[in-house]
A and B are shown apart, each in its own frame.
Chain A
Amino acid sequence: MARNIAIKVARAEKDMTQTALAKAVGVSRQTMNAIEQGDYNPTIKLCRAICRVLGKTLDELFWIDEEPGSSDGQ
């Protein structure tokens, strides 16, 4: 899975550390890091919690642009 840079950017806009965001949504720091690195695919519940904390929509943080001829990132 591709890295999720949108979350990192949104986090920076809010001046939040990874630890702070993880605590706010109720997951471990390692899980939040895995989400940002693209190593873990969160459930919709967790996605919504992250969006709520960062003040963004699901599309803004988790939409994957599929380029012609490429895989969907999995």
Chain B
Amino acid sequence: MGMMNNKYFDERQILARGKGFQIGFLVSLGMIIADFLAEDVLWNYGCISINVYSRAMMCIWIPILVVSVYFILNDACEKINETGGKALMGMFVFVGLFEIIVTVVRVASGSILFVENGVVGDALGQIFTGAAMLGISVVYFVKLALNKKTFGDEE
């Protein structure tokens, strides 16, 4: 106990992370089922369809978003004595914004089509990825600010 230089998760964080991964696993299963249902049920009725890349990005990023937000809200995302969280989240903001802006500009300029022959293309997946990264980093920085406010007056 009291290992100042080692980086590790404490017991409460380990429990929270276990619950977070459990939730993420169930969300992943749900996304796979939703993907099959959407493809087989909805699109057979002539609704607009989404291409494989965009569907894959949604199936990947929604569970990551849910798990990351759970970790952040339960203060279980950073190990004790770890300090690299801000840098990583800053990178997420940059990459997320870059992804969204570049995709929007390309769609607006006509170099790529958002919908082609009734199928939503890669643009949706790219925007979704950027939005997920932005969402995670926003939650992180808001929680950081709230923690500072809550724990700022040391007692």
Report A58-70 CB contacts with B as 1/0, cut-off 8 Å: 0000000000000
Q: Are A19 and B12 in contact (CB under 8 A)?
A: no
- Interface flag for A23 (CB, 8 Å): yes
**B2, B4, B12 — which one has the most chain A CB atoms within 10 A of its CB?**
B12
Report A40-59 CB contacts with B as 1/0, cut-off 8 Å: 10110110010000000000
Q: Are A26 and B10 in contact (CB under 8 A)?
A: yes
- Interface flag for A4 (CB, 8 Å): no
Complex CA–CA separation, A25 to B12 (angstroms): 13
Partner of A25, one of B1, B147, B151: B1
Within 8 A of B (CB), among A1-54: 17-19, 23-31, 33-34, 40, 42-43, 45-46, 49
Q: Are B154 and A27 in contact (CB under 8 A)?
A: no
Q: Are B11 and A23 in contact (CB under 8 A)?
A: no
Q: Are A33 and B10 in contact (CB under 8 A)?
A: no
Quick one: given A28-B13, A30-B75, A31-B13, are A23 and B2 in contact (CB under 8 Å)?
yes
The size of the chain A interface, using a CB distance under 8 A, is 20
Complex CA–CA separation, A61 to B2 (angstroms): 20
Q: Are A28 and B80 in contact (CB under 8 A)?
A: yes
Partner of A19, one of B2, B3, B75, B154: B154
Q: Are A42 and B11 in contact (CB under 8 A)?
A: yes
Q: Are A27 and B80 in contact (CB under 8 A)?
A: yes
In the assembled complex, which residues on chain B have CB atoms less than 8 Å from the CB atom of A30?
12, 75, 147, 151
- Interface flag for B155 (CB, 8 Å): yes
Q: Are A24 and B2 in contact (CB under 8 A)?
A: yes
B interface residues (Cβ-Cβ under 8 A, vs A) = 1-4, 10-13, 75, 80, 147, 151, 154-155
A interface residues (Cβ-Cβ under 8 A, vs B) = 17-19, 23-31, 33-34, 40, 42-43, 45-46, 49
Can you list 12 pairs linking A and B with CB atoms under 8 Å apart? A17-B155, A18-B151, A26-B1, A26-B3, A26-B10, A27-B11, A28-B12, A28-B80, A30-B151, A31-B11, A40-B12, A42-B12
